[in-house]
Amino acid sequence: MRAADIASDLTTVLVTEEQIHEKLGQLAAQVESDYEGKNLLLVGVLKGAVMVMADFARHLTRDVAMDWMAVSSYGSGTKSSGVVQIRKDLDTDLHGWHVLIVEDIIDSGLTLSWLLENFASRGAESIEVLALLRKPEAAKVEIDCRYLGFDIPNEFVVGYGLDYAERYRNLRDVAILAPHVYA
């Protein structure tokens, strides 16, 4: 689904699918250089990072391991609650791995901050973050994001894995959701 298909639900397209793929290709090249000769584990944060993780991994030309973790701090609302709930833990023991957390978006940073602390206690060789999107104005904690796609305004966005009440994840672009949809 493209933004034009649901134009009445959106106000502005911030990033197109084509821009996303170009950026993921650039980030993949950087990651390959930085992790040459290292055991790299991509950890996707469900559900939002599914699209980013899949497309990023396909841009890589090396073998990597992948695992998934499901945490939530949103529920069905449009603002982070700040309370992290683990819904699915990792299957992989992090000892001996260089972990790259793959995120769809860094909003308040609270969930990611919690994840970084949690993973640090599990014995990973290193832990870095790749995020497609970041909302600098929404940050409540500072996150060192080594690999960043795009900074976006502090608006409620959907698409490319990002949802509102489990809808719009399959939108190929990232766009601001019109307030009449969730008001």
**pLDDT tens track for 97-117:** 999 999 999 998 988 999 999
What CATH code would you report for 17-154?
3.40.50.2020
Strands laid side by side in the 174-177 sheet: 10-15, 174-177, 157-158
pTM of this structure? 0.91
| Tens digits of residue pLDDT in 6-38 | 999 999 999 999 999 999 999 999 999 999 999
Candidates 156, 98, 160; CA nearest to 129 is: 98
Per-residue pLDDT for 73 more than 80? no
User: Rounded CA gap, 65 and 42, in Å?
Assistant: 6
> Confidence class of residue 74 from pLDDT cuts 50, 70 and 90?
low
Residues forming the active site: 107
